[in-house]
A and B are shown apart, each in its own frame.
Chain A
């Protein structure tokens, strides 16, 4: 098991933002966190990345996450936040090279890896641009590439299967790059890593996720296989909308009714 959550709870200003959340995150799985705005998806993913202190316990690869050093954490999980906050003129290549920071790599290895990731992600034209001048989608692609590079170094460093935490990575991506993101998530899972992804698009979750965690008001309403959890009744209840689930040649889609 890559990570185990036991009875996680968190209160902010007297309001419960996470309430008694437990679950197991297995290697080789893609887990989608779904729920309306304010459900606690980003908070939960931040707690998984040890960015928030919560009640309850989190075990990363069998050990309490609190006992890890910052560097060791970075060798076992990679985190993509919702927004980039860069205020200074760093080049895309410089941003990407930071993915190698947790690992003891030579400068030559760092350069080779960055060159490779630039080529893999087809961002050669962006490599020497100021990160702040990129569009939202371009920034997001670069950040996904950075965290994926960090993730792919975990096995090479002998740290076992890693955890890839993605907070709304598809929000600014066009269709082509959403497809690229899906392919990379599948590749990461095939390599044995666990991918946790916050999504708003139900159809994307249905296509991508092996497992879905449905949150509302800080509570885990349901968790399990996507097709079992994402029933019409439950989605309507959690999101307070009216949708229909339709099936076409074994694939399931949601449409507004």
Chain B
């Protein structure tokens, strides 16, 4: 696999993107020669403590959100679903915000509990959305999206309420979640998010045909030997894990989970055998690009990455809605 990737154009493209991502920023590392880069303290710090974990985390989170998008879209058979649209990101952000505010009142190590709270929030929100939006019924798709919107609104309102209870530092922390940024990337988050991604990548190879079967419909999948309920529960837990960790590490980053699976489908179709690996690489690469734009376009300041992905993703989302509308002749 690695050998194939290394010799493929995609592998080279990812290598170039990662290298560019590491070089780009307020200080362009490409302008320093190798000697000064390796020997100066500033160069060393920028390279190993800021750029490398940040770019790698961007790739891991992009890949995670993209795979989460594929999983959620396939399981609910809704091309317009993504982790943030079905409430998992909102629920995770609410869980994280609750923990941030609670940390000011009770003596706990919020740093360790935020991912757990975000994870639980993500799972609860997803379950609520799936319960409210019966996707297997006629008109269920619209119901599912509306349920996701409703849960997101509830989560946003509760986060708004929490900001009134929050101290100044907690307020800054919560604001960070809602806009999304990779500025606080470090090796802790890189290891945590990579582990979750690795778990999903180990689970996926045996599921790709079952996911194809679900695309035909729950009844068909059931009578083709797929334990649909079990697969959906496993998928939801893993989507919640990926999305919750992504939200914990860098706040809400929208549209990557929605858009990259669609780009992947346009390139290789909906068969998960090809779509899953392609979405992994596309999602990772797109977030590295978005992060590169976010921290160079108004350098030395940087834009929240959620703004960049939304600006890139929203037009694609609108185009998808129009195309879907035409296909269904709304």
Which A positions have Cβ atoms within 8 angstroms of B?
A: 46, 49-51, 69-75, 77-79, 81, 84-91, 94-95, 98-99, 101-102, 130, 150, 165
* With A87-B77, A87-B78, A98-B209: A73-B223 Cβ-Cβ less than 8 Å: yes
Looking at B74, B78, B220, B265, the one whose CB has the most chain A CB atoms below 10 A away is: B220
27 of the cross-chain contacts (CB-CB < 8 Å) are A51-B223, A70-B225, A70-B226, A70-B228, A72-B225, A73-B225, A74-B224, A74-B225, A75-B225, A79-B220, A81-B217, A88-B77, A89-B269, A89-B270, A90-B269, A90-B271, A91-B269, A91-B271, A94-B212, A98-B212, A98-B213, A101-B209, A101-B213, A101-B225, A101-B226, A130-B269, A150-B224
* With A89-B265, A101-B225, A102-B224: A51-B219 Cβ-Cβ less than 8 Å: yes
In the complex, the chain A residue whose C-beta lies closest to that of B210 is A101
For residue B214, give the distance in angstroms from its CB to the closest CB of chain A.
10
Contact B216 A77 (CB under 8 A): no
Q: Would you list the 6 A-B pairs with minimal beta carbon distance, nearest first?
A: A74-B225, A102-B225, A88-B270, A79-B223, A71-B225, A85-B217
Number of B interface residues at 8 Å Cβ cutoff, please give it: 25
B222 — which chain A residues lie within 8 A by C-beta? 49-51, 70, 73
Contact A87 B224 (CB under 8 A): no
Check if B310 is an interface residue, CB within 8 A of chain A.
Answer: no
Q: Out of A77, A87, A91, name the residue touching B223 (CB < 8 Å).
A: A77
Q: Out of A49, A75, A98, name the residue touching B216 (CB < 8 Å).
A: A98
For residue B67, give the distance in angstroms from its CB to the closest CB of chain A.
16
Q: Out of A46, A86, A101, name the residue touching B224 (CB < 8 Å).
A: A101
Contact B215 A90 (CB under 8 A): yes
Contact A49 B265 (CB under 8 A): no
B270 — which chain A residues lie within 8 A by C-beta? 88-90, 94
In the complex, the chain B residue whose C-beta lies closest to that of A103 is B225
**How far, in angstroms, from A198 to B191 measured CA to CA in the complex?**
56
**How far, in angstroms, from A257 to B77 measured CA to CA in the complex?**
46
B209 — which chain A residues lie within 8 A by C-beta? 98, 101
Instruction: Known pairs A49-B223, A74-B224, A90-B215; list 15 more (Cβ under 8 Å).
Output: A51-B219, A70-B227, A74-B223, A79-B223, A84-B216, A87-B215, A88-B79, A89-B265, A91-B271, A94-B212, A94-B271, A95-B216, A101-B224, A150-B224, A165-B223
**CB contact list, B66-114 vs A, under 8 A:** 73-74, 77-79
B227 — which chain A residues lie within 8 A by C-beta? 69-70
**How far, in angstroms, from A88 to B261 measured CA to CA in the complex?**
11
* With A70-B227, A98-B224, A102-B225: A87-B212 Cβ-Cβ less than 8 Å: no
**How far, in angstroms, from A49 to B220 measured CA to CA in the complex?**
10
* With A49-B223, A73-B223, A88-B79: A94-B269 Cβ-Cβ less than 8 Å: yes
**How far, in angstroms, from A106 to B46 measured CA to CA in the complex?**
51
A72 — which chain B residues lie within 8 A by C-beta? 225
For residue A54, give the distance in angstroms from its CB to the closest CB of chain B.
15
